[in-house]
């Protein structure tokens, strides 16, 4: 069941969004709507533990600025939800980009735009792996569940084994068993919890994940046998938790955030270390900017997450401009920092690097 929240003080907008959501996804997935009149209601619901929205449509101005206050709260507390802003405010795009924001849509609402972003969200949500969040030395580590082979108890610690790396931290294996059982993890021994879809073979006393042998104790033999016969798998949590939010789970990405022009509100994310081509020609460009002054292949950009910087090379006829209007020299490599303004061909449409 997909819970979708709407936070707005305007009942007409609430009704309009409810109708668009229903029309867009009623044949795709089961869903429910949660209504919040302002950001305070959202925060209160989170603090009471009743907030379960996977996606939240919210205005910025719901009774003063409570919408954006709620967005900041969600980001600061790493609440497992994504946001689509629906607002008449044109000057908050870049600020809101940092708040678990999937999209930024302007009022009056365009039914086509809302449907397009909602369906795009559902597609990305389904393809983004759920993550196990653990705390190591005061830092949250997110481990995609689909990379975990098995978990091993060692005294007061748990060791998480993925195919290429291990993580160890203080946790009870029993707590993880409760948290992960609905995601296909099963206890096979007092000291082992395994990902059932990674089991390659088993017998009464042991199971294998490729060439890794893991013991099966008598207490858990029936459970393993039933699992393998029925492929059944059936989360809760305390000192660790699961997240399914795209914003939390996709890791650090770069972005172009349009803050002025015909694409105002557009947020185009780019993966680290992946060179993308920007231009007018959709047959060769990864990011299409369909404006008269933009070349068919205008420039290439690579985001380096480790250094938090963008590498850009211009190929265009009309130029790529950064900052207050500096034109990049064609075919030369430049390094830009997040927050830099960038324009393609002219100053009519302005992006900021996220």
Q: Which has more confidence, 113 or 203?
A: 113
| Greatest distance between any 2 Cα atoms in the chain | 73
| pLDDT tens digits along 167-193 | 999 999 999 999 999 899 999 999 999
| pLDDT tens digits along 54-103 | 999 999 987 667 889 999 999 998 898 999 999 999 999 999 998 989 99
What's the rounded Cα separation, in Å, for the pair 149 and 209?
Answer: 7
Q: Kindly report the CATH number that applies to the domain delimited by 252-353.
A: 2.60.200.20
Q: Which CATH architecture group holds 131-243?
A: Beta Barrel (2.40)
The whole-number pLDDT of residue 234 equals 38
pLDDT band, residue 26 (cuts 50/70/90): confident
Task: Say if residue 308 is exposed, middle or buried (CB neighbours under 10 Å; 0-12, 13-18, 19+).
Answer: exposed
| pLDDT tens digits along 214-269 | 999 999 998 888 877 765 333 334 467 788 888 777 778 999 999 999 999 999 99
Please, what is the angle between helix 39-48 and helix 66-76, to 10°? 30
What is the spatial order of strands in the sheet that 166-170 belongs to?
166-170, 157-162, 148-154, 192-195, 185-189
pLDDT exceeding 70 applies to what percent of the chain? 96
* Average pLDDT of every residue of the chain: 91
DSSP designation for 130: P
Give the range with max mean pLDDT: 35-44, 139-148, 201-210.
35-44
Contacts of 181 (CB under 8 A, 6+ apart): 233, 234, 235
Establish whether domains 131-243 and 252-353 are of one fold.
no
Give Cα 82 distance to the centre of its chain: 7
Fold held by 2-124: Rossmann fold (3.40.50)
CA angle 265, 119, 261 (to 5 degrees): 15
Domain definitions of the chain by residue range: 2-124, 131-243, 252-353
The whole-number pLDDT of residue 63 equals 67
């Amino acid at each position: 069941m997909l819970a979708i929240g709407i936070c707005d003080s305007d009942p007409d907008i609430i009704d309009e969004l409810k109708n668009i959501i229903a029309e867009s996804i009623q044949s795709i997935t089961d869903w429910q709507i949660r209504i919040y009149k302002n950001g305070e209601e959202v925060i209160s619901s989170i603090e009471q533990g009743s907030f379960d929205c996977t996606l939240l449509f919210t205005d910025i101005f719901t009774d003063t600025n409570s919408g954006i206050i709620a967005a900041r709260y969600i980001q600061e507390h790493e609440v497992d939800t994504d946001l689509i802003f629906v607002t008449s405010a044109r000057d908050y795009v870049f600020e809101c980009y940092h708040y678990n924001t999937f999209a930024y849509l302007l009022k009056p609402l365009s039914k086509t735009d809302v449907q397009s972003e909602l369906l795009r969200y559902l597609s990305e949500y389904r393809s983004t792996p759920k993550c196990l969040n653990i705390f190591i030395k005061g830092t949250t580590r997110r481990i995609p569940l689909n990379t975990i082979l098995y978990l091993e108890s060692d005294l007061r610690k748990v060791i998480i084994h993925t195919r290429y790396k291990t993580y160890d931290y203080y946790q009870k294996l029993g707590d993880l068993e409760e948290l992960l059982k609905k995601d296909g993890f099963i206890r096979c021994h007092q000291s082992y919890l395994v990902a059932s879809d990674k089991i390659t073979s088993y017998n009464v006393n042991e199971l294998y994940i490729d060439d890794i042998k893991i013991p099966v104790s008598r207490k858990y033999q029936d459970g393993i046998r039933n699992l393998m016969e029925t492929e059944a798998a059936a989360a809760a949590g305390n000192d660790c938790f699961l997240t399914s939010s795209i914003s939390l789970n996709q890791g650090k990405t770069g972005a172009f955030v349009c803050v002025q022009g015909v694409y105002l509100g557009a947020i185009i994310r780019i993966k680290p270390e992946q060179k993308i081509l920007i231009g007018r020609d959709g047959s060769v460009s990864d990011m299409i900017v369909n404006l008269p002054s933009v070349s068919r292949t205008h420039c290439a950009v690579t985001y380096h997450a480790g250094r938090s910087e963008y590498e850009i090379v211009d190929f265009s006829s009309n130029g790529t401009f950064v900052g207050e209007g500096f034109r990049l020299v064609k075919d030369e490599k430049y390094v830009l920092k997040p927050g830099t303004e960038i324009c393609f061909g002219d100053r009519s449409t302005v992006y900021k690097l996220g």
